[in-house]
Amino acid sequence: MSASGGTKAVVAALSANLGIAVAKFVAFGVTGSSSMASEGVHSLADSGNQILLLIGAKRARRPADQAHPFGYGSVRYIYAFVVSIILFTLGGVFALYEGWHKIHDGSPLTSPAWAFGVLFISIGLESLSLRTAVGESNQVRAGVPWLRFVREAKAPELPVVLLEDVGALVGLVLALIGVGMATITDNGRWDGLGSMAIGLLLVVIAVFLAIEMSSLLIGEAADPAQVAAIEAALNDSPDVSRVIHLRTLHLGPDELLVAAKIAVRHDDTALAIALSIDRAEARVRAAVPQAVTIYLEPDIDRVRATGG
């Protein structure tokens, strides 16, 4: 995934959320709507999340050093995991608390027109943000279904922004229903139910994100197409008899570690083997440019040596 594409989507989401958060808090101050308070905290949390994603992307670009010889690419996963925790604590828990409080209070809303105006404007701005994220995702998605793309993408920025934008739009619709029903019935408990629905939505998204980001933090292999391309590049090398075993690991979204044991002819000299490894590494990098770190261990092709 292009890092610039992810950054563009994050910046677009951040620009929308900062303005929306201020408008929602103003509407909350005028109307006393719990749904608006929850949505305000939701947008504020999203803004903080996007700032963290930008910081993570910048810190991940630091060059490798003695303490971190494989570089800092995985920093992007750490920041994305923190994002899921913030979304849960600031967004989901607050919305659930505010909704529960409003249900017990039950006071009607004042000047609900403010809330409706802010909600409709927010829906428009969030739609533009989602449109940007979808456009950037389509450049790298290659027809993969959306759920699969979100679950399997190795770069965290676009999946996180996509989920946040979709969650924001659904949350705005829930807030609109809550405020609308509270206005029609003159019963503030509907507003509280809307806030609790927003809280549950944010908790579900946060848990989903935490699970996906933790998998990346533990370490994921290259996708099957890349593994097949790496194996084919090695097997097609005239200096390699066959691939005995192959392991891959994402050091970062765009950086792969490749480790393989390859079979060579038993009568090759040390120089011949060294040159064979160099040529095999070049073929792998040509096939999969993300393979930045490659370790190939030569071994005797015992199957052919024994005639098995």
The phi and psi torsions of 273 (rounded to 5 degrees) equal -65, -45
Tell me which of 3.20.20.70, 3.30.70.20, 3.30.70.1350, 3.40.50.300 is the CATH number of domain 224-305.
Answer: 3.30.70.1350
Q: Does CATH number 1.20.1510.10 belong to domain 3-218?
A: yes
Residues 46 and 94: beta-carbon distance below 8 Å: no
pLDDT digits 0-9 by tens, 18-58: 888 888 888 888 888 888 888 888 888 888 888 888 898 88
The phi and psi torsions of 296 (rounded to 5 degrees) equal -115, 125
Residue 242 corresponds to which tokens in the numbers above? 């066959």
Averaged pLDDT for residues 142-162: 85
201 sits in which H/E element = helix 189-218
Q: Is this structure's pTM higher than 0.85?
A: no
Q: Does 305 score more than 60 pLDDT?
A: no
Kindly list the domain boundaries of the chain, sorted by start residue. 3-218, 224-305
pLDDT digits 0-9 by tens, 237-293: 888 888 999 999 998 888 999 999 998 876 778 888 888 889 999 999 999 999 999
**Do the bridges between strand 255-264 and strand 291-300 make them parallel or antiparallel, or are there none, so unpaired?**
parallel
C-alpha pair distances (Å), 258 with each of 27, 75, 217, 278: 54, 20, 18, 14
Instruction: Please report the pLDDT score of residue 2 as a whole number.
Output: 47
Instruction: Please report the pLDDT score of residue 19 as a whole number.
Output: 83
